[in-house]
Amino acid sequence: MAAATADGGAGIRLSGHTLDKATKAKVHLENYYSNLVTQHLERKGRHERLEETMREEGLSEEQKKEKRMQHSLKETEFLRLKRSRLGVEDFEPLKVIGRGAFGEVRLVQKRDTGHVYAMKILRKADMLEKEQVAHVRAERDVLVEADHQWVVKMYYSFQDAINLYLIMEFLPGGDMMTLLMKKDTLSEECTQFYIAETALAIDSIHKLGFIHRDIKPDNLLLDARGHIKLSDFGLCTGLKKSHRTEFYRDLSQAKPSDFTSNPMDSKRRAESWKKNRRQLAYSTVGTPDYIAPEVFLQTGYSSSCDWWSLGVIMYEMLIGTSLAH
């Protein structure tokens, strides 16, 4: 049906559903071609680093030829793996190691290699109902881009009719929240170590152009040697349009009244907080204890909100309770 457009010409009236589908298709295509360009640049960068390394090592032409052949085979295998379609049947479930608002995390073993991973399973219907699609896109994109020692690595992602699956690095040390629940407080030396590593981790994602916005003990994981890695980038903000769709609902839209509670004395507040600590971690919004004031009061925020959260965690490590309690 024809309709007047903004410039006075004749146009076509499109339904909201059609516009919505067109927007999603546009975002999909933009991301697809952006990824192609990124992959090309990454491959070119790896080749340049190989050539530079061979020059520094002073290899003979025959040795260089052998190195280039090995590198080419690795690149081919890498592309083959990227194109292969994985499914949940390719992984042997071992045990459930975590539960969240939209699903669970399982310890799994890849059937063909025997490698062990953490499989994050997210229910599509729940995420659509609670408008969390962009949050998952943001998390996936950060994990892909932040191939860094301070960020939990993601190796694969795929989906079926019911769930989304993120196959990530398994960290056997657990999370900081569990450690704090066991210890209550940490020594100044331990606190200094963990805070310093977390600061380096936060700085690394800021340099990539992202703000985490959900820094809390639950999202600080420990590897086998006790070193920190950041996880759970569902509320992370970046510059991609796919992180700002109509599905996007973040903590800045929550009203302060959403987090109010009945007054009680400080001792009872601390006891209640510790008792409900794990349950709060399962909620879709999470606990407000680590949210920076500017986010909580909806006055706009910058990367400094992550540093506020880090300060609250340091207080909790030393004192044994949240700053808000």
Backbone dihedral angles phi then psi of residue 128, each to the nearest 5 degrees: -65, -40
Altogether, the residues listed in the chain come to a count of 325
- Active-site residue (options: 90, 112, 160, 214): 214
CA-CA distances (angstroms) from residue 123 to 15, 129, 162, 249?
28, 10, 6, 18
- CA separation for the pair 220, 228 (Å, rounded): 6
Catalytic status, residue 223? no
DSSP 265: -
The answer on whether 183 is annotated among ligand-binding residues is: no
Task: Report the interhelical angle of 16-57 vs 61-83 (nearest 10°).
Answer: 160
DSSP letter for each residue of 110-123:
ETTT--EEEEEEEE
Contacts of 295 (CB under 8 A, 6+ apart): 213, 251, 252, 301, 305
- CA separation for the pair 319, 325 (Å, rounded): 11
- CA separation for the pair 70, 60 (Å, rounded): 15
Contacts of 149 (CB under 8 A, 6+ apart): 229
Q: Binding site membership: which residues?
A: 120
Active site residues: 214
**Residue set of the binding site for ATP:** 120
